[in-house]
Amino acid sequence: GAVVSQHPSWVICKSGTSVKIECRSLDFQATTMFWYRQFPKQSLMLMATSNEGSKATYEQGVEKDKFLINHASLTLSTLTVTSAHPEDSSFYICSARQGSSYEQYFGPGTRLTVT
């Protein structure tokens, strides 16, 4: 149980374009999903918390107009990187929390490369 998927697993895009990443909880309903970013040899940095049916809560320093998050259903959250630049190249990972549990389960991640 507690399986989270992400799509795509990797993507290459040109500078200035937008990229959408999907995160799905496959066998449970997730009222809360989280989006992290991880640069090489660094730990995970929380970007935002996504709650179903409401606006996402962004961490300090994360541009909400650049990283658009939509949590339209209990099993799907999307992250759209708008006007991507090479410095946005990173490993983006979502996680989901099952019910009131404090345990978070991570998706397999999406490796974004902006050229």
Partner 1 sequence: QKEVEQNSGPLSVPEGAIASLNCTYSDRGSQSFFWYRQYSGKSPELIMSIYSNGDKEDGRFTAQLNKASQYVSLLIRDSQPSDSATYLCAVRTSYGKLTFGQGTILTVHP
* Contact of 28 with 98, CB cutoff 8 Å: yes
- Nearer to partner 1 by C-beta: 39 or 83? 39
Nearest to 91 by CA among 103, 78, 105, 107: 107
- Nearer to partner 1 by C-beta: 3 or 72? 3
- The H-or-E segment that residue 81 falls in is strand 76-81
Residue-by-residue DSSP string for 39-71: -TTS--EEEEEEETTS--EEPTT--TTTEEEEE
- Nearer to partner 1 by C-beta: 15 or 103? 103
Q: CB of 28: closest distance to partner 1 in angstroms?
A: 14
Query: What is the C-alpha separation between 44 and 99, in angstroms, rounded?
Result: 23
Q: CB of 9: closest distance to partner 1 in angstroms?
A: 10
Q: CB of 92: closest distance to partner 1 in angstroms?
A: 10
Q: CB of 102: closest distance to partner 1 in angstroms?
A: 4
Query: What is the C-alpha separation between 66 and 58, in angstroms, rounded?
Result: 11
- Nearer to partner 1 by C-beta: 1 or 86? 1
Residues of the shown chain interacting with partner 1 in the complex, contacts defined by CB under 8 A: 34, 42-44, 46, 93, 102-109
